[in-house]
Amino acid sequence: MYNNKKEQHNLQLTSLDSSAIDDNNLEDVRLLDSYDNDDVELGVGGGGMKRITVKVTGMTCSACSSSVEGALMSLNGVVSASVALLQHKANVTFDPNLVKEDDVKNAIEDAGFEAEILEEKSSARSKPQGTLVGQFTIGGMTCAACVNSVEGILRKLNGVKRATVALPTSLGEVEYDPLIISKEEIVTAIEDAGFDASFVQSSEQDKIILGVVGVVNELDAQALEGILCNLKGVRQFGYNRVSRELDVLFDTEILGPRALVDEIVTGSSGRFQMHVKNPFTRMVSQDEEESSKMYALFTSSLILSFPIFLMRFICPHIPLLYSLLLWRCGPFQMGDWLNWILVTLVQFVIGRRFYIAAFRALRNGSTNMDVLVALGTTASYVYSVYALLYGAITGFWSPTYFETSAMLITFVLLGKYLETLAKGRTSNAIKKLVELVPATALLIVKDKGGNNVGEREIDALLIQPGDVLKVLPGKKVPVDGHVVWGSSHVNESMVTGESAPVVKEVDSLVIGGTINFNGLLHVRATKIGSDTVLSQIISLVETAQMSKAPIQKFADYVASIFVPMVVALSFMTLLGWYISGSLGAYPDDWLPENGNHFVFALMFSISVVVIACPCALGLATPTAVMVATGVGANNGVLIKGGDALERAQKVQYVIFDKTGTLTQGKATVTNVKIFTEMDRGDFLRLLASAEASSEHPLAKAILAYARHFQFFETTATKDSQDNNNQSALSEWLFEALDFSAIPGRGVQCYINGKQILVGNRSLLTENGIAIPTDVENFVVDLEENAKTGILVAYNAELLGVVGVADPLKREAAVVVEGLKKMGVVPIMVTGDNWRTARAVAKELDIQDIRAEVMPAGKADVIRSFQKDGSIVAMVGDGINDSPALAAADVGIAIGAGADIAIEAADYVLMKNNLEDVIIAIDLSRKTFSRIRLNYVFAMAYNVISIPIAAGLFYPWLKIKLPPWVAGACMALSSVSVVCSSLLLRRYKKPRLTTILEITVE
């Protein structure tokens, strides 16, 4: 039983103990949103809001709960009031400056119920920090005008910071303040605007959507609700009897998702079975339902319209059938009766959706394609009915145009059906990514002592951190984690692009969705849900598909004025032909048989209304962007938004970082020269001790060399088989104090109370250490051979130099050559010295280089190129590249690089392959070439078709489009634009790939 307000959204509040009471407006959050414990006082705007829970006694039905809510909301200062009938409780949020707790209690008692204020523990309350981002499905949108209308409505809501709506996916992403507005209120606002809406998904771990099997009647539903009401830790739940879905919000400190499912199954003695609903899978099923619904409408309209078409165009040539149609039955002929009945069904039953959508648009002060369809078909239907009635009264029978209305609706529904099929294919990238994750996993059950006691197959979405999972040969790894037992080879090509299987042993990291080849693995889950690598990729693709390219602003503007202009042109066409005909401007033999000037003008006017197509303009950009982001993801290039996609096509300069970007980032020590009497082993021990705390690739190379030379030499075979090599090495190292990494120079620390410096010339010079000539000559020789010379000084004395080489990536030279052929200028920026930079640039044939550049200086280099308005792309991988990636017009991060670099970038190359830089730019160019072609087609179609439909060429060419033909043209135009965008799915990599393969061979 639900109260009236909650019944609308099918939501039920469960009983809450004092430790589980929480905000009514617990909201769905993304990865970066969090909840923190706070006081009862909640800051909203400039004042403080207070929330209390009241026990209400005496409620017996939903009318009672509505009365309590009404009494509470009537108090000046009450922000929100929610009453749970079954739990006999009310949660009230109010301004304590205007309302006191006693006022709340008195209001409930005045309504005829007993009230008691319940005490709450502050530790149980939490509030969302900042704004949250929620996703909603929005049904009923047909064109860009609908999108503009929904976005406008959402942005006007108090508490909404940002709203973006995507027409191809029918999704809306809303950033809002949960202390001001809840997701239920957002859904209500969309529905009040005349569109269908529902919440889609959440990345927080305290919300789960379950499919329920076993609920067959009302008693079962009540039993399920009873189990949830008595389940400690459940905050809210809602069971949808139609979709058989259970939406549960729970306290993660008390209850986990798997425990929740187990409690429900156990509480029902196994009668109810649960399976977790994947939000992306739910959206796919909704797309399929929409296509099925549209197909049913189209086929129904076709079945009813086909007899109308036969009676109009075929039966007059078949005497027997035609005589039956001419048989008079009452005031009308049999054919007239049949036409009227069939068209009425098509117009008002099947075509009801057009009237509803048109009413929505007009109510919100906008217009869309549905307004045109409703206007054109209604004009044809009303005129035909009028002609029949006029003929029955006066005996003067004018021609009717019932077939125009029926066939218009049929063709428009055909277009809509084809459009839904095509738009459904644009989200194939996300579907494929979702399908990578296995549906179930084998959980290893342990006893209290940690011993394995069995196995259990569970839903993969119910895996919890710390679970140990069994991965059989040939099966997919369910989630991200690390191996705790076994060894095998795993295919990680879906993430890294590396086709060769990767060896996985104890402590090796594994990625969810990758395929285990030949061995048995036990994997401990470390990341689940939205924290997994695959979920992050899906999130990036989804965010990109939601975003709008700047070029779409043009389409949005045109859509806002398109329909009013078309209606005005239609009205002018009607007046023009009717007045000119009345004045004798054209001969009467142009008129249809038994027709008049008004009928002649009306047909042109209706044709203008129905042939105009704003959908083609509205779909030109978003469908292409969606397909492009999907194609990019399939090729290992994640695009973060339509704006980034648009900017990449205009790139004039590509600036490359050197280490880890142009080079493999796997540096190796090639030379060690000591310029003092110090023993080589002692030198490496000092050097390794200083570099042990650094994460720089060069530091890792030095540590590896030191371990090999010194440590393994003394411990021989024993340690080569020991899994604790790293801890043993740590015992060998000196203790380094006051360690600090100096960006662009090196590191410094203190060992045995004496300062040690490891870095380039600048580091030593700044600390007053002179560099002898023989040392300088040795370093210069290294640099001229594309090696980096690292100087080591201890206690103000220069000890020696280490030469480190970082090989170039095999594809680097070919990528540079490919960029030049594309008209893009490659530039290398590095913190390395000039001699090394020149040696690398010479090998790659890069003419413009900037060396000895500090991390902040890389951003300055980018800005220097941007001064004349040039579009600059930056390709980097490290933390020190983040400022440059953010400063660039297009930031391209190597996927294997640092997380902060990936966050700052617009493109992420997941396969760590420089060749994908070419793909990123080429895909952008091809996408916007397709978008421009779409716009040219859409504009040309309307510019050419509207004058033809208006009959401007009729006096000379006698070209007259019947309204139903015009409707067919309109329906097919939007479908053609979508199909044009879908051609991007056949995107082929540039021939650079072939060149690269030949070069390598």
Dihedrals phi, psi of 527, to nearest 5 degrees: -130, 130
Sole residue written with tokens 């040392």: 775
Q: Which residues, 6+ apart, have CB-to-CB distance to 60 below 8 Å?
A: none
Cα(875)–Cα(516) distance, integer angstroms: 33
* DSSP SS3 for 25: coil
Q: Which residues, 6+ apart, have CB-to-CB distance to 583 below 8 Å?
A: none
Dihedrals phi, psi of 423, to nearest 5 degrees: -65, -30
H or E element in which residue 52 lies: strand 47-57
- C-alpha distance from residue 468 to each of 94, 444, 455, 522 (Å): 47, 6, 10, 6
Cα(210)–Cα(16) distance, integer angstroms: 21
480 catalytic per annotation: no
Dihedrals phi, psi of 254, to nearest 5 degrees: -110, -35
Q: Is the dihedral of CA 747, 751, 755, 759 positive or negative?
A: negative
Cα(887)–Cα(891) distance, integer angstroms: 8
* DSSP SS3 for 517: coil
- C-alpha distance from residue 225 to each of 155, 397, 477, 970 (Å): 36, 65, 35, 50
Cα(909)–Cα(920) distance, integer angstroms: 9
DSSP-derived letter for residue 14 is P
H or E element in which residue 396 lies: none
Decide: residue 755, CB within 10 A, 0-12 exposed, 13-18 middle, 19+ buried.
Answer: middle
* DSSP SS3 for 648: helix
Query: Partners of 273 in the beta sheet?
Result: 213
Q: Is the Cβ–Cβ distance between 441 and 478 less than 8 Å?
A: yes
Q: Is the Cβ–Cβ distance between 388 and 336 less than 8 Å?
A: yes
Q: Is the Cβ–Cβ distance between 728 and 711 less than 8 Å?
A: yes
Q: Is the Cβ–Cβ distance between 692 and 733 less than 8 Å?
A: yes
Dihedrals phi, psi of 839, to nearest 5 degrees: -65, -45
Cα(877)–Cα(863) distance, integer angstroms: 19
3-state helix, strand, coil in the chain (%, to 5): 50, 20, 30
Cα(143)–Cα(615) distance, integer angstroms: 5
Cα(965)–Cα(853) distance, integer angstroms: 66
Strand 89-94 and strand 126-128: the pairing is: unpaired
> Which listed residue (251, 657, 889, 922) is catalytic?
657
- C-alpha distance from residue 423 to each of 25, 164, 170, 223, 744 (Å): 34, 18, 10, 41, 49
Q: Which residues, 6+ apart, have CB-to-CB distance to 365 below 8 Å?
A: 149
Q: Is the Cβ–Cβ distance between 503 and 492 less than 8 Å?
A: no
Q: Which residues are known to be catalytic?
A: 657
